[in-house]
Amino acid sequence: MKTACESKNIKEVIEMSKKPAFNPYLPSWEYIPDGEPYVFGGRLYVYGSHDFYNGYVFCLGDYVCWSAPVDDLGNWRCEGVIYERRADPMNRDGKMCLYAPDVTVGADGRYYLYYVLDKTSVMSVAVCDTPAGKYEFYGYVHYPDETRLGERGGDEPMFDPGVLTEGEKTYLYSGFCGRGDKSRTGCRAVLLGKDMLTVLTEPVTVIPGCEYSSGSGFEGHAFFEAASVRKIGERYCLIYSSEVMHELCCAVSDNPFGGFVYGGVLISNADVHIDTYKPADMPMACGANNHGSIVELNGSRYIFYHRHTNGTWYSRQGCAERLIKKPDGADGLFYQAEMTSCGLNGGPLEGQGEYPAYLACNLFTEKHTLYVGDANAPKIMQDGRDGDKETGYIGNIADGTTAGFKYFDCKGISKASVSVRGYAKGKYLLRTKWNGDILAEIPVEFSNVWETYSAECLIPDGVNAIYLTFSGDGNSMLKSFALE
């Protein structure tokens, strides 16, 4: 008998062994928003803040890091805690939270982690010899006279660092601009010395906040927070969360300290502006704040962002979508990416088998609400407490709730199933478009345990979305669906 390696070439065997990649890309019980993705030594590392399931504020946890092989982006490994919030001398009592960080490799080859504690106005730095080892507190960003950046008269408070090192030059971007606050001008930039701490230039505003955006070209998409910087070709690309919060935009320039022009929306965690499958202004999920950045993987670029779960702003999960480059000479660098369930997979998921409901990239009622906040809205949730390795599911499913999953390469599908529980009686209607023809009606009954129900279903061959709408009475929970 031939072995697998004898009957197939090595590449085919490797491809078969890879795990599919989903959104969210980490396990459903992990909550790492504000993702900054980097490739070091053949692995993709994601650095972010750390929310808790059922958390009551943002960023309650220590920094943890996850990584995956660049050629197997469904196979994630937790690198553990890389930095504890009590490690900062200003936070020995642990009363402050670690907000969104960023990482850069210094001229000395070491890894520098920049962050802000939630009740301070200064930028802290930690350092490590490896991408995901134990970072140690290093110091605070300061002027040559030792005054800390953010504490000098006229400074704007530090927030959400974006860092880029080129040779011996490190550019640091930061800012937070709430509506109505004229003391915050926008995203600010400085140049740091080789020690990664000393400010060599006066701060300059490179993207305006909403109070200063008139006539700038950034109107309606002015800087709010979440600065992140990448060099794409010869151009500097500043990714940021705009004044509407749910979208990540970009600004581009040939100069790291000025000349930035608005480059368009990269992703919205409500899928607003996308008009390929629904009206452009129709939200297909409840959005809220957003934060992420761009990384190149296997010849494609991806935008990392986060979604909101548990019906709150405080339990966020990382997602990623492939970006499509615009033609040279067009405004901006990339077209806006559509939210999907397959993210880093590089293409649609297999159109047969069982898939967990927490992969829903669209989740809405007939109201199509834009922002998180309605206590009765459907939500992705889990059993147990934060840290319990419980698979997520969708709760609060009432009459008219729709969950959408995209995309699947379907062939010969003749049956569909749902796994549900809860005091609800009715049916799940299956479509391949959110407002399309009903292809299956799957009846469900009251149950306090997970039960599986099935119905015949003729889904067209090809790449399809799957939309499941509950029609009936009561409150249902959806654990998974299956196609066969």
pLDDT of residue 17: 52
Beta strands in 289-372, from DSSP E residues, in sequence order: 294-297, 300-308, 316-323, 349-350, 353-356, 362-364
Phi, psi of 344 (to 5 degrees): -80, 5
Contact 480, 380 (CB under 8 A): no
Look up residue 418 and give its two tokens: 């749902």
The ranges assigned to domains in the chain are 22-345, 350-483
Q: Which residues belong to the active site?
A: 34, 225
Look up residue 449 and give its two tokens: 């345990």
Q: Which CATH number fits domain 22-345: 2.115.10.20, 1.20.1050.10, 3.40.50.300, 3.30.2350.10?
A: 2.115.10.20
pTM, to two decimals = 0.95
Report the candidate in 417, 419, 420 with the shortest Cα–Cα distance to residue 483: 417
Decide if domain 350-483 falls under CATH 3.90.1580.10.
Answer: no
pLDDT of residue 367: 95
Phi, psi of 209 (to 5 degrees): -80, 175
Report the DSSP beta bridge partners of residue 309. none
Q: How far apart are CA 255 and CA 422, in angstroms?
A: 57
Contact 457, 427 (CB under 8 A): no
DSSP codes, 77-146? EEEEEEE-GGGSGGGTT--S-B---EEEE-TTS-EEEEE-BTT-SS-EEEEESSTTS--EEEEE-B-TTS
Contact 227, 271 (CB under 8 A): no
Q: How far apart are CA 303 and CA 169, in angstroms?
A: 25
Contact 66, 320 (CB under 8 A): no
DSSP codes, 18-65? SPPP-SSSS-TT----S-EEEEETTEEEEE-----TT-SSS--SPEEE
Contact 243, 224 (CB under 8 A): yes
Which amino acid is located at 13 in the chain? V
Q: How far apart are CA 480 and CA 450, in angstroms?
A: 10
- Kindly give the parts of the chain with pLDDT less than 50: 1-16
Q: How far apart are CA 428 and CA 410, in angstroms?
A: 20
